[in-house]
Each structure stands twice: as C-alpha cells, then as structure tokens.
Amino acid sequence: MSEMRKERDSMGDVEVPANAYYGAQTQRAVDNFPISNWALPDALIRAMGLVKYACAIANRDLGKLTTSGKTPLETEQVDALLAACQEVAAGKLEDQFPVDVFQTGSGTSSNMNVNEVISNRAIEINGGDRFASEKTIHPNDHVNMGQSTNDTFPTAIHVAVGMTIAEELIPALQKFAATLRSKSEQWDQLIKIGRTHLMDATPLRLGQEFGGFARQIELSIERAQAAQTAILELPVGGTAVGSGINTHPEFGSRVSACLAEQTKIAFIEAVDHFEANAQRDGLVQCHGGLKTIASTLFNVANNIRWLGSGPRCGFGEIQLPTRQPGSSIMPGKVNPVMCESMMQVAARVIGNDQTVTLSGTTGGNFQLNIMMPVMGHATLESIALLSSVVNAFVDLCAADIEANEDACEAAVEQSLSMVTSLNPYVGYEKASELAKEALASGATIRELCEQEQILSEDELNQALDAMRMTEPQE
C-alpha cells in the first residue's frame, strides 16, 4: 500500500498520498467521484494555472498579497507563488490533478486542487516544508485571494477554449483550406459530370468541385474565429455571485488584461458579472460554431469518399492514397479510412454539442451554472478532436489525392443532363423528349441530335461544349 500522510481541512483529517502536492480537499473529491477516470483536459489545467498567475499578479500590483489578510506574504513568497502558478500553466505538474470530470458542478473540487498544488509547490520553491500543517502560502487566503470558483473556473474554461482554438483548430483548418485550394487550381481544366440527388447533372470542373470544398473550410475558419469571439468576456472579478465580494474593484479588469497579454487573445472583463457568473451562453454559442465546423467536415469527407469509390465499380473520379489493408477477408481491398475517421469525429462533436447545449440550458439557476466541468471537457475535447483529425486528414489523405482524368471525362458525353444546354435552342419540352429517347435507345444526346438533325453541326458543337457548360454564358 502506498505511503500516506495526514492533511486537514475544515471537515477534519484526510489521508493523502505521501508525495502528492495536493491536499485534503482534492483527496475528498477523488474519493467522492470515482465516476469515469476522466481527468480535466490538460489544456484546462494549464489555463487554470495561467488564471491563478494573472490573479496573483493583480493582487501583487494592488498590494493585496503583502498587506492584506491574516498572514501577508513576503516578496520572496509572492515570487514563489508566481513561479508555482507558471509551472502549472506550463504543464509541469499535470500528474497532480486527479479529480474526475463528473464532480461538483461549479468545478470547486478542481479549483481547490489547483490551489492546493500551487500552495504546496510555492512553499517548496520558497524553501519551506510543504508537509507542514500550517501553510505559509495558503491555498485559500493567498492562491485564491479575491476569487471564487464561480468566477475563476469559467474564466479558465474560456481561456483554455480561446487558446486551443487559436493555437490548434484555426491553423489546422488553414492548412486544410490551402490544400484543397491548391487541388482546385491544379484541376481547374478537368471536366467531369455533376451530381444532384445522386443523379447525373450538368458538367462542372473537378477544380470547381474542390474549390467548393475549399470555400467550405475557409468559412469554417471564420466560424472558428466567431466561436472564439463568443468566449472573450471573462467572469473573473465577480467572485461568488457576481457582486465582487472580497475583491478589489480593479481586480477583474487587471486579471483580464494580464490574460490578454499572456495569451495574445483579446480577453476582456465581463460587461455584467451577474450574467457572466450565472450563464454559460457564450460557451453554448462557441460550441455551436464547432458543431457547424463538424458538419462541414463530415460533408467534405463524405463527398471525397464517394468521389474515390471504386476502384472499378464506383465513381472513381479521384484516387485516394492507400493507407492500410481494408478487409480481413477480401484480399487487396482498400478503404477510405481517413474519410471515415473524420466523419466519426464529426459525429462525436455533434454529440458533444448536445451535452453543452443541455448543460447551458438547464444547468444555470440564479447566480451559477452547475454543469461547468462537463461543458469545459466536452468543448475542449471537440476542439482537440477537430484539430487532430483535420491535420491527419490533410497529411494522410488530402495532400496526396490524385485525379482520375479518364473516369472524369468518360461520363460527360454519356450524361443525359447534357441536354440541358439545348434548352435555349429547342425549349424545355423538346429537350425532355430527347432525354427520354436517348435513355430508351442508349444513344448519347449528341448522337441523337445528329441523327435527327436537331441543330446544325456548329450549333450542336457549341451547345454541347462541356467546358462552356461550366460557366455562365451571355
């Protein structure tokens, strides 16, 4: 059995692993919530460290840490506190945050987990005994000064979400959009048949089709930016219910400014702290943007999967890179695995949106939302999954897609929808008759028109010029 030490909180003594940096309140949460074995995302823990750092900077500059409270800190202790916060923000103590996601709905257990770790690590940095019963750098009085879980935990969620969108999701989408745009330009002169309702439609260029995909991802970048904008207001400074009890009037604005400087993201103090404490509407809006991005990615992956179907009995208009054997029973079979991976991620993110929406809708009562840990987990999971799958899809699929020119061009003349370009010459009714006759006889539209001398040779060649059909004509 692991060695234990005794820690104490307001409810009494608790046995804690001997070498853990956390204390009694963390251990109580570990014991109370043996639910999923899902810890909070690393990005959220790092963001909490950054929030604690910004709070300590604000309290230092306001003179609160060295003059206020039962035991004011010395300058060296403040420096140690800041250093410990920076270590958490840098991810150096990630094994010290064991509290399950499905915990107290405010995130108090995780907030105290962070407070205890920073307190004990700061004491250690300052040369003190972190195992002593009297905490010379106290988790509540110093690390949590001017704060409540109710304002700092959602602030950390916003910071983590804003940073991961900026650092992971947007760059991945930009790479994907650039790859698709390059394919669009490469295949700009390659004609193929269009499809609507999965049925033959008028011609277009493969480059135009991939240009449409590229634009979908370019719009996804804009949606990611809008999702980030939705969480720029920070609740910090509202403390327990939004009133700002036990904190300096400038605290919220100073912390927000510090976080903006540290992250290079335009975070600001909440316009109304009662709204910011009580509701997570911004997070719901943010994840709605992520859901839309997931929907787009599903569509693009599924279309690419269809275009690459075959190799002999499908559309086969593009060739997807071969990544792995596709069947345990059919030798030589290769499947569109990267498309399928992206589609599954999209389904997960759309499911996460239901979690976030329900949590935001029913979890907020009066001055507090009590579904915040799962909201933060779901949102950060969605960002991480979207970012990872987009990068993998670009590197392992999209970048190496090749066009099958023969398959693209072979279907154009065979399509009955070629008759559409005859509408201006013979009218819709006559063109419809020609399409039906061609289908019954097996002839192409061109062959039928030549047989029945519907148009002169020059007019027919102009009308059935597939390249002309891919652009508007005067």
**Mind telling me the catalytic residues?**
197, 327
Give me 142's structure tokens: 């110093």
Contacts of 105 (CB under 8 A, 6+ apart): 363, 369, 370, 371, 372, 373
Give me 208's structure tokens: 């135009």
Asked whether the CA dihedral 427, 433, 436, 440 is positive or negative, the reply is negative
Give the C-alpha separation, 11 to 24, whole Å: 9
Residue entry with tokens 């399409």: 435
Contacts of 183 (CB under 8 A, 6+ apart): 207, 210, 214, 398, 401
- Beta bridge partners, 318, equal 403
SS3 for 106? coil
SS3 for 234? strand
SS3 for 4? strand
Give the C-alpha separation, 150 to 370, whole Å: 9
Question: ∠ CA(365), CA(367), CA(373), 5° rounding?
Answer: 70
CA distances from 244 to 50, 51, 58, 69, 282 (A): 20, 17, 15, 17, 21
CA distances from 384 to 13, 165, 342, 379, 409 (A): 39, 9, 13, 9, 40
Task: Count how many residues are written for the chain.
Answer: 474
Give the C-alpha separation, 439 to 125, whole Å: 83
